[in-house]
Amino acid sequence: MLDGIPINDPTGFAPDVFDVDFAAVDHIEVLRGPAASLYGGSASGGIIDITTQKAVDKPLYGEAQASYGSYNFWKGFGQFGGDVDKVNYNVSFSRTMGDGYRQHTHFWGNHVYGAAIYTPTEGIQVTPIFGYTHMYHENPEGISLAYYEKDPTLPNDDAIPFNEFLETERGTYGAKGHFALTDQHEVDVMAFVKRTNFTEANNHTFNHRAIVTPGVSVEYDYSMGEAADNVRNRIAIGADLQWQTIDQHESPNDHAVEIDTLLSKERIKQRGAGPFLVDKLSVGKDWTIVGSLRYDNIHNELDDQLTTDSTSASGTRDFSRTTGRIGVTYSLIPEANLFASWGQGFLPPATEELVQNPDGYGGFNMHLTSATSQGFEVGSRGSFQQELSYDLTLFYLKTKDDFDRYRLPDRGQTTFYKNSGPTRRLGAEFYGRYTPIRDLEVQLAYTYSNFTYTTDSPDPIVMDDTTNVKYIKSGNFLPNSPQHQLYFDAEYHIVPKFSIAFGFETLSKSYIDGANVEAEAVKGYTLIHARAIYKWQLGPVIGELSLSARNLGDVKYVAFSEPDPGGNAYQPGAGREFIGGLKITL
């Protein structure tokens, strides 16, 4: 979510995060684990809540940033706003361009975003929001292991001849309202509409989509008990409603030339409805119990506008489920706040999975069903004065009917989806921050992931190369899931206005698909990073100079892999990078 507006569509699918300009972000909150009972299918793995910056407490301020770095990367960013006459407003805008590390990875993007918080009285707050995003990036596709070993900057053989790219243009218009009717009664409302034009060129087709996505959310909160009472309760009841209309068509791609012939033309209508109930019970100062229940119904309807006879691909698909979550926290001592939770996940086939029909051009994939999960977590978080804070979580999750990818020999680079066997996911997450001396701060994050299949019988991996037969077997690890991930960062202030930092990230090996072929595994790697920041002030002007370096050792590594049944599963990461920046605030 971005300032309360969901990035996900009614099916739970988040097509991108292009609406987020991270230079304008104030903070990000993450709720881990199955949380479908809070936000539906889009929250089957958790919630990422992004909040943008508010204006500083003065009538008018402005900020400008400029960055330039390796591979011809540059970005210009600016924002202005103010806090005046019961209105706090902030508007940001940016332009980003770069050539990318690999061949055929040129990109550019424009971004405008604004929000105004109007507080006419103490109990009323209204926030209109506007956003505009236009992004274009060439798609080099993944490459084979042989290509990666030869030269990681190479694109897929088809990327340049067919000029593969993706382009997204989207406008977002929304408003939120918070109304504290009394000390006990509060109402929150939110409404938005997003309009998107999307074009993708792959080695087989041009895919055009015009998408309109409106939505509304209403929540009523009732609080019982005063702050000093031993027992306090807060009940929230509400509903999220979202719709989407997609007008799309496909045409052949003849070596970067779009042929004036329709392979498919269709209109897709979708609706997501999710009434929910949340109850938060506080007992004394130490105990809190939170429970939630939600019912989701997702309707998909496709109108085949190219074929009207008996071969028409028109059809409907509906998915629904009730999910719950319960959590308990206990403040034992300030140094140890204990917590435990259990939750259910519900992940219906998203737009992208449904519209890739293996039975022909156009129509829905009628073979898919919803993926489900349930799991629990326990942990502790706390702090020791101001020198040390930590967060430790252990989790266990079981899933069923996960989605897997496959290809067909006669459909080019198109990826299709099917349900696969169940999985078991066991892991731990740790974060710690330590300040041994006033000018030194050390942060460390570690994740252990033991994610394996628990299938009853071997499941074949369907590939476009029919001579290569592989199977998903019980006990095999899930794709692109390294068992160990470690991040370290240390920042030291040499003088109050000048700081330097050093960090590294380490990931263990992972597999490209559920067959776990050792010869195809992605090797583990360690990357070293550094940065330096100098801050200064001349009268009302505040400035900041920065220089950051990533992958100082120029390590050759795979940034991520895809379970690509064509063997082109490797997406190389960039070599050594330097970025310099200047920020001016008035």
The CATH number covering residue 112 comes to 2.40.170.20
- Regarding whether 301 and 206 lie in a shared domain, the answer is yes
Please determine, for residue 16, whether its predicted confidence score (pLDDT) is greater than 70. Answer: yes
Rounded CA-CA distance 67/74 in Å is 5
- Regarding whether 431 and 331 lie in a shared domain, the answer is no
- Regarding whether 422 and 294 lie in a shared domain, the answer is no
| Residue 271, in any domain of the structure | yes
| Residue 4, in any domain of the structure | yes
Q: Provide the pLDDT confidence category of residue 96 given band limits of 50, 70 and 90.
A: very high
CB 419 within 8 A of CB 438: no
| Residue 357, in any domain of the structure | no
| Residue 356, in any domain of the structure | no
Instruction: Kindly state the average pLDDT of the residues 507-511.
Output: 95
Amino acid at 282: S
Instruction: Kindly state the average pLDDT of the residues 503-509.
Output: 97
Query: From the CA atom positions of the chain, what is the Rg in Å?
Result: 25
Q: Which helix (H) or strand (E) holds 372?
A: strand 371-384
Rounded CA-CA distance 144/463 in Å is 14
Which of 321, 345, 369 is the last residue in one of the domains?
345
| Residue 378, in any domain of the structure | no
Instruction: Kindly state the average pLDDT of the residues 180-201.
Output: 95
Instruction: Kindly state the average pLDDT of the residues 23-44.
Output: 81
pLDDT at 66 (0 to 100): 97
| Residue 583, in any domain of the structure | yes
Q: Provide the pLDDT confidence category of residue 407 given band limits of 50, 70 and 90.
A: confident
Token pair, residue 180, equals 């504290």
- Regarding whether 466 and 319 lie in a shared domain, the answer is no
Rounded CA-CA distance 389/273 in Å is 40
pLDDT at 333 (0 to 100): 85
- Regarding whether 416 and 274 lie in a shared domain, the answer is no
The rounded mean pLDDT for the chain is: 92
Please determine, for residue 566, whether its predicted confidence score (pLDDT) is greater than 70. Answer: no
Q: Provide the pLDDT confidence category of residue 495 given band limits of 50, 70 and 90.
A: very high
Q: DSSP assignment, residue 260?
A: S
Selection from 39-53, 70-84, 356-370 with the highest mean pLDDT = 70-84
pLDDT at 311 (0 to 100): 66
Please determine, for residue 409, whether its predicted confidence score (pLDDT) is greater than 90. Answer: no
- Regarding whether 430 and 337 lie in a shared domain, the answer is no
Instruction: Kindly state the average pLDDT of the residues 106-119.
Output: 97
Instruction: Kindly state the average pLDDT of the residues 276-305.
Output: 93
Of 565 and 177, which is predicted with more confidence? 177
Give tens-digit pLDDT for 379-406.
999 998 878 999 999 999 999 998 888 8
- Regarding whether 15 and 94 lie in a shared domain, the answer is yes
Q: Provide the pLDDT confidence category of residue 470 given band limits of 50, 70 and 90.
A: confident
Full-model pTM: 0.90
Give tens-digit pLDDT for 142-171.
998 899 999 999 999 989 999 999 999 999
Rounded CA-CA distance 81/116 in Å is 9
- Regarding whether 421 and 315 lie in a shared domain, the answer is no
Q: Provide the pLDDT confidence category of residue 441 given band limits of 50, 70 and 90.
A: very high
Which of 291, 316, 345 is the last residue in one of the domains?
345
Domain boundaries, position 518: 385-586
pLDDT at 275 (0 to 100): 95
pLDDT at 121 (0 to 100): 93
pLDDT at 223 (0 to 100): 94
- Regarding whether 337 and 198 lie in a shared domain, the answer is yes
Identify the CA nearest to 411 among candidates 363, 352, 464: 464
Number of domains in the chain: 2
- Regarding whether 440 and 310 lie in a shared domain, the answer is no
- Regarding whether 275 and 166 lie in a shared domain, the answer is yes
Please determine, for residue 37, whether its predicted confidence score (pLDDT) is greater than 80. Answer: no
- Regarding whether 419 and 290 lie in a shared domain, the answer is no
pLDDT at 565 (0 to 100): 60
